[in-house]
Chains A and B, each alone.
Chain A
Amino acid sequence: MSYRLNGKSVDRRTFLKGTAAAGATLAGAQILGAPAVHAESGVTLRYLGTAVNQSAEIAKKCKEDTGITIEYIPVTTDEVAKRIITQPNSFDMVDSEYFSLPNLVPSGNLIGMDAKKIKYSDKLATVITKGEVDGKKIGMQGTAPAKVFYLEGEHSKSFAKEPTEWITLIPTTYNADTLGMRPDLIGHKVEHWKALLDPELKGKTALINVPSIGIMDAAMAIESAGLMKYKDKGNQTKEEIDFTIETLIKAKKAGQFRAFWTDFNESVNLMASGEVVLQSMWSPAVTAVRSKGIKCAYPGLAEGYRGWASGFGLPRTTRGKKIDAAYEFVNWFLSGWAGAYLNRQGYYSAVLDTAKEYMKPYEWDFWMEGKPAAQDIHAPDGTLIEKAGAVRDGGSYVDRMGHVACWNSVMDQNEYMVKKWNEFIAA
């Protein structure tokens, strides 16, 4: 999932800088007619996204390899969508989540990415392009990336059912989310999502207060408790939403939840302080808790994972040289170095083969194969993540991504869902 930044001021500053630059470059490009030539070095790309992939290291390496300067505009997930709709000219490329696409594509503000210009387009992970891991179908409930992967044409406002030349977003990172927990404070193994609603943990659980994600975690728990069988958790009917929210309100009134969180850091603090022992959580938050020397587990649960994925898109306002630079950047991003960097953070990269070349075999075994670490495992910034002998929670890539049950989503009844969610918070 996305990170949320606290640094609003940074945000505004980059934004102001961004808009000024946008005005200037856009005007320049139009006057000159900007023929597309391959002289990308010296180009600056304003890269809108959540902080997930916006590492300074990646920008630095990219500059070295391609000469393209990356200027990050880090905002929250919701803010990314808002920017695409309201200010498509304030950035040159965007890293957005697939689940936002049903809201974004009809606006026409994103254009298709040309698969022919993407060097590794046939090597993109099948979990994203087809919803398959190792040739096996995985859960497609919710806004699965494969459902929204292709457009009918470059400027099309609707998704194509069959593969086309035009890709909505070129995947950057994806992962399988589960519940984070403090094994030392719970005292026993947790194997099902229903633990979130288990009275045994009364007053010690937390839920993410981002409706489109929180409702998925809630639905996983409700279905696991046998209270309801959803047709599609990620696209609930009004009746299903009513039942989900009603169940949540009952649990809330019984004092089940300690808190709700929206900010990545809040989830870390809740867990680290012991206020909460089981909650919706994102993988890097678990790593953050562990880096404080506190035990925090992120195991696979019987019902499977909630998947998410994000990818690069182009706004319709990007022109000329910048488009070429954007494609060059994407190709560089897929060529391995960046993928290895992300894999070492616990995410998954879009093209696995290229990333493998940049990872040491023991790293690959730990992160991807689910094997015990042959040596100490370090994050890209050098922080010790796991000691030798440790095994990744949930196991291998195939075990984790292969057991995705549903994806973050925007429902048909989105408006109704948000309204009911507010009722839940107010209850």
Chain B
Amino acid sequence: MAKSSTKTSYWQAAPMALVFLLFFAVPLGVILIVSFWKYTQYSISPAFIFSNYTDIFSGCFTQLPSLCTTFSTYLQTLIFCAEVWALTLAIGFTIAYFLVFEVRTTTMQVVLALLCTIPFWTSNVIRMISWIPLLGRNGLINQGLQDVGLTSHPIEWLLYSHFSVLLAFVHLNTVFMIIPILNSMARIDKSLIEAAHDAGASAWQTLWNVLIPLCKPGIAIGSIFVITVVMGDYITIGIMGGQQIASVGKVIQVQTNFLQFPLAAANAVVLLATVLVLIWALSRLVDIRKEL
């Protein structure tokens, strides 16, 4: 009985596994293989060379402490990652807290949670572009500020800047934090909070010692979503940064456009490795499987 049920579950998993194998594992393997190939302006040919990787990091170690292009690009992306993660976590956690503990009726909770997802009914490019008329030099905010008399010149850093990229990232990704945290938080037994209160814990202590530990899986899952999205993104950085800010994705895109596929593949492998290290570090902190 037990034996046949494991067999059945294998069969049940097979279609998904097959899809994954065909459309994920195989292409990924090809990328890895191609990253060791040689290329010219018009061809790529099988080889086993490391020059694509050494090219990415050429001069990176000798010219320290000044950063090479690769390092400064990764640093830039990692900074965005950290900022977006911190902001989406703070906002996402607060919203989830409000929905779970402040909103009384379940119906209202569901309605409000659905409201959070409404922006997702349009494409993320449209959600992003809609910021432009607001933030631009002749945009609503600048015109408003000048009409009120708060500023005499348009504020330039509102658009095509680090700020605007960050704003768009937070806007696009906060919901990925809200939903998993909400899910973890909703399962918390309310009597635990009361018990903490009865035991004399301050609100802050309850948050730190009871709520956050119990929300860890949600936070971890949300973090994985946000980090992977930000690390690989180049469209948001491109549109909101006026293409003046580098991102790893953009470097890869330029290289594929110039038919430097092996170089692009090597870059993709490095990016993948970086993301995997981040995820691995995160999973050290929280055992997601166990907590689920």
B-binding residues in A (CB < 8 A) = 78-79, 81-82, 85, 102-104, 106-107, 203, 206, 209, 211, 252, 257-262, 269, 273-275, 410, 414-415, 418-419, 421-423, 425-427
Q: Are A421 and B254 in contact (CB under 8 A)?
A: yes
Q: Are B246 and A410 in contact (CB under 8 A)?
A: no
Contact with A along B208-252 (1 / 0, CB 8 A): 000000000000000000000000000000100011101000110
Contacts of B254 in A (CB 8 A): 211, 418, 421-422
B95 to chain A: closest CB distance in Å? 32
A421 vs B256: C-alpha distance when bound (angstroms): 14
Contacts of B258 in A (CB 8 A): 78, 211, 414-415, 418
A78 vs B73: C-alpha distance when bound (angstroms): 23
Counting from the closest, the 8 A-B pairs by CB-CB distance are: A259-B242, A426-B246, A78-B257, A260-B243, A107-B42, A423-B69, A103-B41, A426-B69
Contact residue among A85, A206, A274, A418 (Cβ-Cβ distance under 8 Å from B42) = A85
Q: Are A259 and B243 in contact (CB under 8 A)?
A: yes
Q: Are A102 and B72 in contact (CB under 8 A)?
A: no
Q: Are A415 and B72 in contact (CB under 8 A)?
A: no
A252 vs B243: C-alpha distance when bound (angstroms): 12
B135 to chain A: closest CB distance in Å? 10
A-binding residues in B (CB < 8 A) = 40-43, 55, 69, 72-73, 76, 132-133, 136-138, 156, 159-160, 238, 242-244, 246, 250-251, 254-260
Contacts of A259 in B (CB 8 A): 160, 242-244
Known contacts A85-B43, A415-B41: A422-B251 contact under CB 8 Å: yes
Known contacts A85-B42, A258-B242: A274-B69 contact under CB 8 Å: no
Contacts of A82 in B (CB 8 A): 256-257, 259
Q: Which residue of A lies closest to B139 (CB)?
A: A273
Q: Are A85 and B259 in contact (CB under 8 A)?
A: yes
Contacts of B160 in A (CB 8 A): 258-259, 275
24 residue pairs bridging A and B, Cβ less than 8 Å apart? A78-B257, A78-B258, A79-B257, A81-B259, A85-B259, A103-B42, A106-B41, A203-B156, A209-B243, A211-B254, A252-B244, A257-B244, A259-B160, A261-B243, A262-B238, A275-B138, A410-B41, A415-B41, A415-B260, A418-B258, A426-B69, A426-B72, A426-B76, A426-B246
Contacts of B260 in A (CB 8 A): 415, 418
Contacts of B41 in A (CB 8 A): 102-103, 106, 410, 414-415
Q: Which residue of B lies closest to A108 (CB)?
A: B42
Contacts of A422 in B (CB 8 A): 69, 246, 251, 254
A107 vs B136: C-alpha distance when bound (angstroms): 45
Q: Give the one of B133, B244, B246, B256 with max A CB within 10 A.
A: B244
A180 vs B2: C-alpha distance when bound (angstroms): 74
Contacts of A261 in B (CB 8 A): 243
A292 to chain B: closest CB distance in Å? 14
A425 vs B248: C-alpha distance when bound (angstroms): 11
A107 vs B76: C-alpha distance when bound (angstroms): 38
A422 vs B243: C-alpha distance when bound (angstroms): 11
Contact residue among A81, A206, A275 (Cβ-Cβ distance under 8 Å from B159) = A275
Q: Which residue of A lies closest to B129 (CB)?
A: A269
Q: Are B73 and A103 in contact (CB under 8 A)?
A: no
Contacts of B238 in A (CB 8 A): 262
Q: Are B259 and A275 in contact (CB under 8 A)?
A: no
Q: Are B246 and A262 in contact (CB under 8 A)?
A: no
Contacts of A102 in B (CB 8 A): 41
Known contacts A82-B259, A211-B258: A106-B69 contact under CB 8 Å: no
Contacts of B138 in A (CB 8 A): 273-275
A12 to chain B: closest CB distance in Å? 15
Q: Are A426 and B73 in contact (CB under 8 A)?
A: yes
Contacts of A426 in B (CB 8 A): 69, 72-73, 76, 246, 251
A202 vs B150: C-alpha distance when bound (angstroms): 23
Contacts of B43 in A (CB 8 A): 85, 106-107
A392 vs B53: C-alpha distance when bound (angstroms): 51
A359 to chain B: closest CB distance in Å? 36
Q: Are A275 and B137 in contact (CB under 8 A)?
A: yes
Contacts of B250 in A (CB 8 A): 425
A417 to chain B: closest CB distance in Å? 9
Q: Which residue of B lies closest to A421 (CB)?
A: B254
A200 to chain B: closest CB distance in Å? 16
A82 vs B43: C-alpha distance when bound (angstroms): 10
B73 to chain A: closest CB distance in Å? 5
Contacts of B76 in A (CB 8 A): 426
Q: Which residue of A lies closest to B125 (CB)?
A: A6
A261 vs B251: C-alpha distance when bound (angstroms): 15
A133 to chain B: closest CB distance in Å? 30
Q: Which residue of B lies closest to A78 (CB)?
A: B257
Contacts of A269 in B (CB 8 A): 132
A203 vs B160: C-alpha distance when bound (angstroms): 11
A81 vs B256: C-alpha distance when bound (angstroms): 11
Contacts of B136 in A (CB 8 A): 273-275
Contacts A104-B42, A426-B69, A427-B72 known; list 9 others, CB within 8 Å: A211-B254, A260-B244, A274-B136, A274-B137, A418-B255, A419-B55, A422-B251, A425-B250, A426-B73
Contacts of B159 in A (CB 8 A): 275
Contacts of A410 in B (CB 8 A): 41
A410 vs B254: C-alpha distance when bound (angstroms): 14
A223 to chain B: closest CB distance in Å? 24
A260 vs B247: C-alpha distance when bound (angstroms): 14
Contacts of A260 in B (CB 8 A): 242-244
B28 to chain A: closest CB distance in Å? 19
A252 vs B246: C-alpha distance when bound (angstroms): 13
B25 to chain A: closest CB distance in Å? 22
A73 to chain B: closest CB distance in Å? 17
A331 vs B125: C-alpha distance when bound (angstroms): 42
A274 vs B133: C-alpha distance when bound (angstroms): 11
Contacts of B72 in A (CB 8 A): 426-427
A318 vs B41: C-alpha distance when bound (angstroms): 24
A106 vs B39: C-alpha distance when bound (angstroms): 13
A196 vs B72: C-alpha distance when bound (angstroms): 27
A211 vs B253: C-alpha distance when bound (angstroms): 12
B163 to chain A: closest CB distance in Å? 14
B59 to chain A: closest CB distance in Å? 11
